[in-house]
Amino acid sequence: MRLAVVIVTGLVLSVIVAYLSLTSGEFDLSVREVVNTLFRLETTPQWDLVIFDFRLPRIVLGALVGAGLAAAGAVIQGVSRNGLADPGILGINAGAGAAIVTFMFFYQGQIRTTGWSAILAMPFFGLAGGIAAAGLIYLFAWKSGRLDPQRLLLTGIAISSGFGAWTLFLSLKMNASDFEMATVWLSGSIWSANWKFVVSIAPWLIILLPVIYRKSYVLDLFQLHESSAISLGVRTEREKSLLLLASIGMVSACVSISGGIGFVGLLAPHIARRLVGLHHRHMLPVCTIMGMLLVILADYIGKNVVAPAEVPVGIVIAIIGVPYFVTLLMKRPA
């Protein structure tokens, strides 16, 4: 009963924020105009342009990105048994971002980033960068035949810094227009959302989210000591690799479209655990909804707080996430 109430409440709040984002902006729309346009009861070119070309793709993309980053964060925290783990903090975001900026750098002026070929290729470049970051994390955080949770965080921070330096180096060598695009993208923004971006990211989430949910019982067992999980018949290293690969795939797809939006994968799992407990079968659906709500709300705030200018989603969430991360760090035992 509690799970159903939390899920329904989260979805209702997401719909309310989505409605506010759909109707507010430089071109305000009334309830009647939105309903008439969505259900094709009465239309005008202006309403269609604002809703279907600008605002609705942005809301849908924000929901998909939030769900993907939140679920990936829950998996990484479960596998590492580290509540401070997050795709951004561990360097997976940075690895995927570095690969995509490399893609932008070498193909600038040859492939338009608004074309289908580039948009569909970018998640695969992001996947390569995310896997490279994860491989380096495994290499340096591996100790005595297992993944050391404490080394994991420190290694991730170092790897993130290294990929960040490479990204900055390449972006400084771009021409002015590409540099501006890369800078906005790296800050974590969905302002240029369109239906092509939605189509490029949706298959990754449709395929990988069910895979993660089916492994929710394995994530529960990972909270035990590793020897206990092995004694219960869990092939721990195989399951860890599968879950991490699925989460890296989702993070890479999200980063390829939205850039470096951090802290969603940290905040959403913690909120979900507080609401419905530790069992991943209950926590994962709530976590994805919380991620959706966080990104849609952050985008709404960023779009309206200093209008007509905009604050990128990544900056809005970081304003919330950094103090929360410091609080979690201070609460951890020495």
* CATH code (residue 298): 1.10.3470.10
φ and ψ at residue 280, rounded to 5 degrees: -65, -25
Distance CA 181, CA 153 (A): 30
- The pLDDT value given to residue 147: 67
- Residue 100 CA to residue 127 CA, distance in Å, equals 9
As a whole number of angstroms, the distance between CA 76 and CA 200 comes to: 23
SS3 181: helix
**pLDDT tens track of the chain, all 334 residues?**
789 999 999 999 999 999 999 888 777 788 888 888 888 878 788 888 888 888 999 999 999 999 999 999 999 998 888 887 888 877 888 898 888 888 888 776 554 445 667 677 778 888 888 888 888 888 887 776 666 667 777 888 888 889 989 988 888 888 777 777 777 777 788 877 888 889 889 999 999 999 999 989 888 888 877 677 777 777 777 888 889 889 988 998 898 888 878 889 999 999 999 999 889 999 999 999 999 999 999 999 988 887 777 888 988 998 888 888 788 777 765 5
pLDDT at 108: 62
Dihedral sign for Cα atoms in the order 162, 166, 172, 175? negative
Q: What is the pLDDT of residues 152-170, one digit of tens each?
A: 778 888 888 899 899 888 8
- Residue 321 belongs to domain spanning: 2-331
pLDDT at 111: 46
- Give residue 113's pLDDT: 46
What is the spatial distance between Cα 273 and Cα 38, in angstroms, rounded to a whole number?
36
Say how far apart CA 139 and CA 333 lie, in whole Å: 26
The count of structural domains within the chain is: 1
pTM beyond 0.85: yes
The alpha carbon of 58 is separated from its chain's Cα centroid by a whole number of angstroms, namely: 14
- Whole-number pLDDT of residue 267: 92
Q: How far is 326 from 152, CA to CA, in rounded Å?
A: 17
The length of the chain in residues reads 334
Both tokens assigned to 7 = 């899920």
* DSSP β-bridge partners for residue 146: 143
Angle in degrees, CA 168, 171, 174, rounded to 5: 155
CA atoms within 13 A of residue 303's CA, in its CB half-sphere: 25
Q: Distances in Å between the alpha carbon of 125 and those of 121, 128, 321?
A: 7, 5, 27
